[in-house]
């Protein structure tokens, strides 16, 4: 069924009817699915699997984690798990280091920037000090997933979550030919059918226990743990969900900025992608031609936070509209005065070496101005921020 319109779609009507029946059964997993940080309902399904089989060391490995805020193990971090993330994109890797800095420093999360293939995966695990039994392995590398899992032999996951190509019907044995340099181009030429993955899983000693409603991820449990805990069937159609891409990456209210478990630390009180956070007495955020962000004062006295790099002097950039404008800064009860002319001005602000990450600064100007008849804002001086690398 199309879950947005309530109408059946031509491509999935058969499977929608099967899904409705599964949702009424406690043995199937779909009814337990929910999203916290996963793409669709994987968070809930993973939670239910471990509710049934229990946990041992609460260790996970996930590769293909994107920028960290939306994947299958972020929620487990919040629940006290620890583990290893491997991400091939250097840009995503740098974002993860920033967004998850405190929990990485605590040793709860290790992150590697590696491009994975079937020949290097075991060496990566060994070099990272991760071998033996773990609770969860999650694989999402958009292509070579099954080849990599098939070749893993230095870890022994109790549960495996792996991406399958939900567009391919369950009767098919289709698999994308192996290419160690493969990068997904966004088409349907990727991964493998659920049936093919299931054959490899059986060879490795795992049982298919369910798939995500979105038809993206399949869940396998090690044979010795299944017993009578899950629906048992030799028919792969009893577990298959077709690709329902309208259910993937749905936006949610209160989106993530960083790992929520560390948002109580001062470093994450405010968004840390800029070195200045505009508080009281500022207009809306604007952008200069060079990409820097800035905001005009809309009061004679305004307040902002400056990220403290523990330096003695900080070079602050200001945009002034009127000549001979008087500016006063109050930094921890110390007063600094400047007389500035129109245009861009760089001034050096003396800073303390205190350990607090954000310094509260009060800026005062002696006059306001209005841009034009169509923009009646009363503005003072524009404070320009820098992107935090």
Confidence of residue 387 (pLDDT cuts 50, 70, 90): confident
Q: Tell me, what's the pLDDT at 1?
A: 40
> What's the Rg (C-alpha) of the chain?
27
For a pLDDT cut of 70, what percent of the chain falls above it? Answer: 86
Q: Tell me, what's the pLDDT at 132?
A: 96
Q: How many other CB atoms are found less than 10 A from the CB of residue 67?
A: 18
Confidence of residue 280 (pLDDT cuts 50, 70, 90): confident
Q: Tell me, what's the pLDDT at 243?
A: 83
* pLDDT above 70 (res 217): yes
pLDDT digits (tens, 9 = 90+) for 292-321: 889 999 889 999 888 776 677 888 999 999
- 3-class SS of residue 227: coil
Ramachandran sector of residue 91 (left: φ over 0; alpha: ψ -120 to 50; beta: rest) = alpha
Ordered by where they begin, the domains of the chain are 13-262 (3.40.50.150), 270-384 (2.60.120)
- What pTM, to 2 d.p., does this model score? 0.68
pLDDT digits (tens, 9 = 90+) for 72-86: 999 999 899 999 999
CB of 152 closer than 8 Å to CB of 121: yes
Here the tokens at position 7 are: 């109408």
Average pLDDT over residues 138-151: 92
Here the tokens at position 99 are: 């967004």
pLDDT digits (tens, 9 = 90+) for 340-386: 999 999 999 887 655 557 788 999 999 988 887 666 778 889 998 88
Average pLDDT over residues 222-251: 85
C-alpha span between 152 and 136 (Å, rounded): 14
C-alpha span between 303 and 113 (Å, rounded): 39
Confidence of residue 62 (pLDDT cuts 50, 70, 90): very high
pLDDT digits (tens, 9 = 90+) for 117-140: 999 999 999 999 999 999 999 999
* pLDDT above 80 (res 252): no
Q: Tell me, what's the pLDDT at 8?
A: 46
- Judged by average pLDDT, the poorest of 24-28, 202-206, 301-305 is 24-28
Rounded to the nearest integer, the mean pLDDT of the chain is 86
Q: How many other CB atoms are found less than 10 A from the CB of residue 375?
A: 8
For a pLDDT cut of 90, what percent of the chain falls above it? Answer: 49
Please give the residue that has the higher pLDDT: either 49 or 188.
Answer: 49
pLDDT digits (tens, 9 = 90+) for 51-60: 999 999 999 9
Q: Tell me, what's the pLDDT at 166?
A: 87
Question: Which of 72, 6, 17 lies closest to 43, judged by CA?
Answer: 72
C-alpha span between 41 and 49 (Å, rounded): 13
Q: How many other CB atoms are found less than 10 A from the CB of residue 185?
A: 9
Average pLDDT over residues 142-169: 94
Here the tokens at position 329 are: 């800064």
Please give the residue that has the higher pLDDT: either 14 or 387.
Answer: 14
* pLDDT above 90 (res 110): yes
Q: Tell me, what's the pLDDT at 2?
A: 44
Confidence of residue 24 (pLDDT cuts 50, 70, 90): confident
Q: Tell me, what's the pLDDT at 107?
A: 94
CB of 359 closer than 8 Å to CB of 309: no
Q: What is the DSSP string of 74-134?
A: HHHHHTT-EEEEEES-HHHHHHHHHHTHHHHHTTSEEEEE----TTTHHHHHHHTT--EEE
Q: Tell me, what's the pLDDT at 388?
A: 60
Average pLDDT over residues 102-128: 94
Confidence of residue 5 (pLDDT cuts 50, 70, 90): very low
């Amino acid at each position: 069924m199309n879950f947005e319109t309530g109408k059946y779609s031509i491509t999935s009507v058969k499977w929608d009817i099967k899904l409705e029946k599964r949702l009424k059964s406690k043995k199937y997993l779909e009814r337990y699915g929910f999203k916290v940080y996963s793409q669709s309902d994987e968070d809930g399904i993973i939670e239910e699997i471990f509710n049934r089989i229990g946990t041992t060391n609460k260790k996970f490995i996930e590769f293909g984690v994107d920028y960290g805020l939306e994947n299958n193990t972020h929620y487990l971090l919040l629940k006290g798990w620890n583990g290893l993330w491997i991400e091939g994109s250097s840009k995503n890797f740098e974002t993860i280091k920033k967004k998850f800095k405190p929990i990485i420093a605590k040793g709860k999360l290790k992150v590697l920037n590696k491009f994975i293939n079937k020949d290097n995966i075991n060496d990566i695990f060994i070099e990272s000090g991760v071998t033996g039994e773990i609770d969860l392995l999650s694989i999402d590398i958009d292509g070579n997933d099954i080849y990599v899992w098939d070749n893993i032999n230095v870890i022994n996951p109790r549960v495996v979550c792996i991406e399958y190509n939900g567009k391919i019907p369950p009767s098919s044995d289709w698999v994308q030919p192996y290419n160690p340099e493969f990068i997904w181009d966004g088409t349907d030429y990727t991964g493998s059918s659920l049936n093919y993955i299931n054959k490899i899983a059986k060879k490795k000693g795992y049982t298919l226990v369910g798939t995500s409603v979105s038809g993206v991820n399949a869940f396998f449990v090690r044979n010795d743990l299944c017993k009578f805990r899950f629906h048992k069937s030799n028919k792969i159609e009893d577990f298959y969900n077709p690709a329902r891409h309208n259910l993937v990456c749905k936006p949610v209210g209160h989106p993530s900025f960083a790992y929520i478990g560390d948002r109580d630390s001062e470093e994450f009180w405010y968004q840390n992608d800029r070195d200045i956070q505009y508080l009281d007495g500022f207009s809306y955020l604007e952008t200069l031609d060079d990409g820097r962000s800035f905001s005009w004062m809309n009061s004679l006295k305004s307040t902002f936070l400056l990220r403290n790099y523990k330096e003695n002097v900080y070079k602050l950039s200001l945009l002034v509209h009127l000549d001979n404008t008087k500016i006063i800064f109050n930094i921890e009860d110390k007063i600094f005065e400047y007389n500035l002319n129109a245009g861009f001005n760089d001034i050096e602000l003396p800073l303390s070496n205190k350990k607090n990450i954000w310094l509260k600064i009060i800026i005062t100007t002696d006059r306001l101005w209005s841009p034009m008849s169509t923009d009646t804002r009363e503005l003072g001086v524009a404070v320009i921020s820098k992107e935090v690398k």
